[in-house]
Amino acid sequence: MNTTPGSPAPSSADYERQTMRVLVIADYYDVSAEPPLAEMVKRHRLDAVITAGDLSKFDLNGIDALPVPVLGVYGNHCNGRYLEELGVTNLHLAYVGHHGVSFTGLQGCVRYKDDEHDILYTQDEYRSLVASLPRADVLITHCPPRGINDHSDAAHIGIDALLPWIDWARPRLVIHGHTYPESPVTEYHGSRIEYVRGARIIDI
């Protein structure tokens, strides 16, 4: 929420009006335990739905009929087709504005095996991709930056080039999935870090 110097402190009503509330889904959506997506949007007065990868059309049943924008990136285990098939805006290396907030995204994870079906990149390939990643308020990335909520095993190591990008772009928020941190890092140099596994509502 933006305020100008010397302006009155925002009231609770102002905060509610100026805060964007989004549902973030990463790695799975438990359709047996969670309400249908349309009900989630209505119940929580959501402004958007964001997908952070390793999902399928089954996980996202009904997402193509939601009355709010849906943005997302592919994870490493995605088929690389369902976002477009469901009418979801693919954020990979893109720049999208909504409710006065700008979004960009990065798909896949660091290559740990030879598999032409998964979305995997070497660290050098990620450096080239991140060089084209636009500055934005919010970064949606399946795989986290190297050193933030990642692990030492090859399948869950973070992306080297993302920390320098965060230092340069200074996003308000970075959202990621993919890993399993016991005590997730929630802040880096003024940027809020949100780790999501499953479904979680986040205020921006």
Residue 163 is part of a domain; what is its CATH number? 3.60.21.10
In this predicted model, what pLDDT tens digit does every residue of 21-64 receive, in sequence order?
999 999 999 888 889 999 999 999 999 999 999 999 999 999 99
User: Please, what is the angle between helix 162-169 and helix 123-130, to 10°?
Assistant: 20
99 part of a folded domain: yes
Q: Residue 117 pLDDT > 70, yes or no?
A: yes
12 part of a folded domain: no
Structure-token pair, residue 158: 């973070």
The percentage of the chain sitting over the pLDDT mark of 70, rounded to a whole number, equals 92
Range of the domain at 92: 18-203
9 part of a folded domain: no
40 part of a folded domain: yes
Q: How many domains does the chain have?
A: 1
Single pTM value for the model: 0.89
pLDDT at 36: 94
Q: Residue 155 — pLDDT band, cuts 50, 70, 90?
A: very high
Q: Residue 11 pLDDT > 70, yes or no?
A: no
**Identity of the amino acid at 74:** Y
pLDDT at 34: 87
1 part of a folded domain: no
46 part of a folded domain: yes
140 part of a folded domain: yes
